[in-house]
């Protein structure tokens, strides 16, 4: 079985958990994902199966679109809602005009320092493993590209926005950067990936429906051919 599955990852599990579930369901060892989603995040996770695993690197390089919600006034050690609060601010006043101006400052090429709680490797070890042991190491800033930031809503301390970004962009780091620019701290509270290249969330297969599709012999109906992808999408 060769192809690419557009899976709608639920909240609370890792991208690797999804790979294991798909592997157990269809009995294929050659399976990998492209573009890690943290457990807090939901949405598109592309799963490459069989010979399609050769396209993993190309698929990872597609630009991605997210709907993010950030909470102002609180900074955490993980830059998202799962972390420990390390700073807070309650005396601030933010309006839509100021938010839009700040968004414009973060559009285009920007630099980000990979968070300690990430899968980036340092001397052969994942940063998040070091962070869990309380070890902090210096990380080099990386250049990423923000194609667009669109404000969706502002409600009390929450800002909801759509972000179209290049590969390698950390949305939780972006939330912290925006919060710092606004002068009130901030962290990622919710995240959904809605697009990777031409793959869209409306066409994604719910993870809990995968077994039924496989047992009924209909899995190939939702699987994208690696040959078509290599010609039209890479």
Residues belonging to the active site: 38
- Cβ count near 183 (within 10 Å): 13
Determine whether 65 is exposed, middle or buried from the number of CB atoms within 10 Å of its CB (0-12, 13-18, 19+): buried
Report whether 160 contacts 65 (CB < 8 A).
Answer: no
What's the DSSP call for residue 168? T
Alpha-carbon gap, residue 130 to 203, rounded angstroms = 37
What's the DSSP call for residue 143? E
Q: What residues contact residue 202 under an 8 Å CB cut-off, 6+ apart? A: none
Q: Give the three-class secondary structure for 7.
A: strand
**Nearest residue to 116 (alpha-carbon basis) of 78, 146, 75, 164:** 78
The secondary structure of 33-93 as a DSSP string is EES---TTEEEEEEEEEGGGGGGHHHHHTS-EEEEEEEEETEEETTSBTTS-EEEE-----
**Nearest residue to 37 (alpha-carbon basis) of 197, 178, 191:** 191
């Amino acid at each position: 079985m060769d192809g690419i599955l557009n899976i709608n990852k639920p909240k609370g599990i890792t991208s690797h958990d999804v790979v294991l579930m798909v592997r157990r369901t269809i009995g294929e060892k050659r399976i990998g994902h492209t573009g890690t989603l943290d457990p807090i995040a939901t949405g598109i996770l592309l799963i490459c199966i069989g010979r399609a695993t050769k396209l993993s690197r190309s698929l990872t390089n597609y630009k991605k679109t997210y709907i993010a919600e950030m909470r102002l006034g609180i900074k955490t050690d993980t830059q998202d809602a799962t972390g420990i609060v390390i700073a807070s601010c309650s005396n601030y006043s933010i309006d839509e005009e100021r938010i839009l101006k700040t968004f414009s400052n973060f559009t285009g090429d920007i630099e980000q320092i990979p968070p300690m709680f990430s899968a980036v490797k340092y001397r052969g070890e994942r940063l998040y493993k070091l962070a869990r042991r309380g070890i902090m190491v210096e990380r080099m800033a990386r250049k990423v590209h923000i194609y667009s930031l669109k404000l969706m809503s502002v409600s009390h301390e929450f800002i909801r926005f759509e972000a179209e970004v290049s590969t390698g962009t950390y949305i939780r780091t972006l939330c912290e950067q925006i919060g710092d620019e606004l002068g009130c701290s901030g962290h990622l509270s919710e995240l959904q990936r809605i697009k990777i290249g031409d793959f869209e969330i409306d066409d994604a297969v719910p993870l809990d429906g995968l077994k039924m599709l496989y047992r009924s012999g209909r899995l190939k109906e939702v699987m994208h051919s690696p040959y078509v992808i290599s010609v039209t999408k890479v």
